[in-house]
Amino acid sequence: MKKTKLVRKTEVAVTPDRKTSRIPGFYRLSVEQRLAFLARAFNLTDDQIAQLRDGSALRVRHAVNMVENTVGVFGLPLGLGLNFVVDDREYLVPMAIEEASIIAAVSKGALLIREGGGFVSTVDDPVMIGQVQVLDLDDPEKAAAILANHKSEILDIANSADPKMKARGGGVLDIETRILDGGDVGRMLIVHLLCNVCEAMGANAVNSMCEAAGPRIAKLTGGRVNLRILSNFADRRLARACFSLPVKHLSAGTSQGHEIAKKVVEASRFAEVDPYRAATHNKGIFNGIGAAALAFGQDWRAIEAGGHAYAVRKGQYRGLATYRIEDDNLIGEIELPLQVGWVGGAVNSHPGVRILRAISGVQNSRELSGLLASVGLAQNFAACLALCTDGIQKGHMALHARSVAVSVGVAPDDVEKVALEMIKRGDVKVSAAEEIFRNMCRQPVVDRLERDLPVKSFAKGKVVLFGEHATVYGYPGIITTIDLGMRVRIKSDSHGPRFLNPQFKQAFPVPTSDSDFRLFSRAADAALEYYGLQNEPIAIEVESNLVPGMGLGSSAAFSVALCEALRKYKGSTVESHWNSRMFEEAQRL
Q: Is residue 9 part of a domain?
A: no
CA nearest 81: which of 364, 365, 379?
379
> Does 486 lie in the same domain as 421?
no
Q: Is residue 94 part of a domain?
A: yes
CATH code for position 83: 3.90.770.10
- Encode pLDDT of 328-353 as tens digits: 999 999 999 999 999 876 666 777 88
Q: Is residue 15 part of a domain?
A: no
Low-confidence spans in the chain with pLDDT less than 50? 7-18, 445-452, 507-508, 510-512, 514, 577
> Does 478 lie in the same domain as 418?
no
User: How does DSSP assign 565-577, residue by residue?
Assistant: HHHHHHT-----T
CATH code for position 521: 3.30.230.10
User: How does DSSP assign 298-327, residue by residue?
Assistant: --HHHHHHHHHHHHTTTSS---SEEEEEET
Q: Is residue 18 part of a domain?
A: no
Catalytic pick from 46, 47, 54, 99? Answer: 99
* Residue that terminates a domain, selected from 180, 199, 231: 231
Number of domains in the chain: 4
Domain that holds residue 415: 398-443
Q: How many CB atoms lie within 10 A of CB 584?
A: 10
Q: Is residue 526 part of a domain?
A: yes
> Does 424 lie in the same domain as 383?
no
Q: Kindly state the helix (H) or strand (E) to which residue 278 belongs, with its residue range.
A: helix 275-295
Q: How many CB atoms lie within 10 A of CB 13?
A: 12
Catalytic pick from 162, 199, 299, 516? Answer: 299
> Does 211 lie in the same domain as 135?
yes
- Whether 314 is catalytic is no
Per-residue model confidence (pLDDT) at position 349: 72
Catalytic pick from 192, 258, 262, 283? Answer: 283
- Whether 156 is catalytic is no
Q: Is residue 282 part of a domain?
A: yes
- Whether 396 is catalytic is yes
At position 272, the amino acid (one-letter code) is: E
- Encode pLDDT of 223-232 as tens digits: 999 999 999 9
Q: Tell if the pTM clears 0.85, that is, is over it.
A: no
> Does 496 lie in the same domain as 438?
no
Catalytic pick from 19, 192, 258, 396? Answer: 396
Q: What are phi and psi of 533, to 5 degrees?
A: -115, 30
Per-residue model confidence (pLDDT) at position 4: 53
Per-residue model confidence (pLDDT) at position 565: 86
**Is the CB of residue 57 less than 8 Å from the CB of residue 47?**
no
**Is the CB of residue 351 less than 8 Å from the CB of residue 66?**
no
SS3 of 329, please? strand
> Does 330 lie in the same domain as 216?
no
Residue 247 DSSP symbol: G
> Does 407 lie in the same domain as 296?
no
CA nearest 490: which of 455, 451, 458, 449?
455
Q: How many CB atoms lie within 10 A of CB 125?
A: 12
Q: What are phi and psi of 538, to 5 degrees?
A: -135, 160
Q: Is residue 465 part of a domain?
A: yes
> Does 468 lie in the same domain as 568?
yes
* Residue that terminates a domain, selected from 166, 199, 231: 231
> Does 242 lie in the same domain as 367?
yes
> Does 245 lie in the same domain as 111?
yes
Q: Measured between alpha carbons, how far is 550 from 508 in angstroms, rounded to an integer? A: 14
Helices (H) and strands (E) in the chain, counts: 20, 15
> Does 343 lie in the same domain as 330?
yes
Per-residue model confidence (pLDDT) at position 399: 62
Q: Measured between alpha carbons, how far is 429 from 419 in angstroms, rounded to an integer? A: 10
Q: Is residue 17 part of a domain?
A: no
* Residue that terminates a domain, selected from 203, 231, 259: 231
- Whether 184 is catalytic is no
> Does 573 lie in the same domain as 521?
yes
